[in-house]
Amino acid sequence: MEWLVLIQHKEQQMPVFDTFHTIAPMPSNVIEEYADRVGDEIVAMWREHGVGFVDDGFLRVVDPQWFEEKQFVHLRSGVPIFLTALCDTIMFIPETASFTAMKLRWSAMDIVSESGQPVAEALCAFGDPAYRERVLESRHFTEAAARLGVPDFDEGFMYTPMLALGGPHSSSTLRRGKAVVSQSLLLQAEPPQLRHYSPARIEPRADY
């Protein structure tokens, strides 16, 4: 029985992401402030990985306090967990224990975790490249990063001209810039509307 308990304890301490580049620890005051809202699984991720880049750099784990102070776009009902290199905000919604992505490039909001899905399982999905490409629609990041390099932590890629203004959906039009500026411009162009209630319904758009 003691041997079994030890194994279970080790499994609980495994990192959420296999590949992570930490740029700073998550501040202890942030963990204390948000712990009741985000729960044990996200707190464990913050303690293990801190602030930084997941895998290829498309996803960045952010300090939600810094995120709000810098006036990045987020829902008041949610806690910002990730910023993407395409200037999307991914939030944890405490009331539903789900994740919502504000894909400002599309003027859309997608629920990107399944209804009733355990938080730990949903977090692990963000580390899966296939999930990021299909559900988070990251393909153009991969193509642009090969050409322009991975944007810095507070940077992102922006379509030029913006998709909301009739710009072509092509990675060749992506340019690097400050993510908070990009988000502000995208929000002014067209506020996001809820598009999909389930990641299973998301179909990445082809180039046009």
Domain extent for 51: 17-201
CB atoms inside a 10 Å sphere around CB 165: 11
| Predicted structure pTM score | 0.91
CB atoms inside a 10 Å sphere around CB 73: 21
Residue 9 lies in a domain: no
Mean pLDDT, the chain, integer: 93
- Torsion region of 63: left, alpha or beta (phi above 0 gives left; psi -120 to 50 gives alpha): beta
Residue 56 lies in a domain: yes
Residue 99 lies in a domain: yes
Task: Place 164 in a pLDDT band, splitting at 50, 70 and 90.
Answer: confident
Residue 11 lies in a domain: no
Distance, CA of 64 to CA of 51 (rounded, Å)? 10
pLDDT at 8 over 50: no
Residue 170 lies in a domain: yes
Q: pLDDT value at position 15?
A: 81
Report the relative pairing of strands 89-93 and 59-61 from DSSP bridges.
Answer: unpaired
**Cα angle value 61/24/124 (rounded, 5°):** 30
Read off the pLDDT of residues 115-156 as tens digits, 9 standing for 90 and up. Answer: 999 999 999 999 999 999 999 999 999 999 999 999 999 999
Distance, CA of 121 to CA of 83 (rounded, Å)? 19
Residue 89 lies in a domain: yes
Residue 106 lies in a domain: yes
State how far Cα 136 lies from the chain centre: 8
Spell out the residues 6+ positions from residue 158 whose beta carbon is closer than 8 angstroms to its own.
87, 105, 174, 175, 176, 177, 182, 185, 186
pLDDT at 96 over 80: yes
pLDDT at 6 over 80: no
Residue 6 lies in a domain: no
Read off the pLDDT of residues 26-49 as tens digits, 9 standing for 90 and up. Answer: 999 999 999 999 999 999 999 999
Q: pLDDT value at position 13?
A: 57
Element (H, E) at 22: strand 20-24
Look at the chain and report how many structural domains it folds into. 1
Task: Place 4 in a pLDDT band, splitting at 50, 70 and 90.
Answer: very low
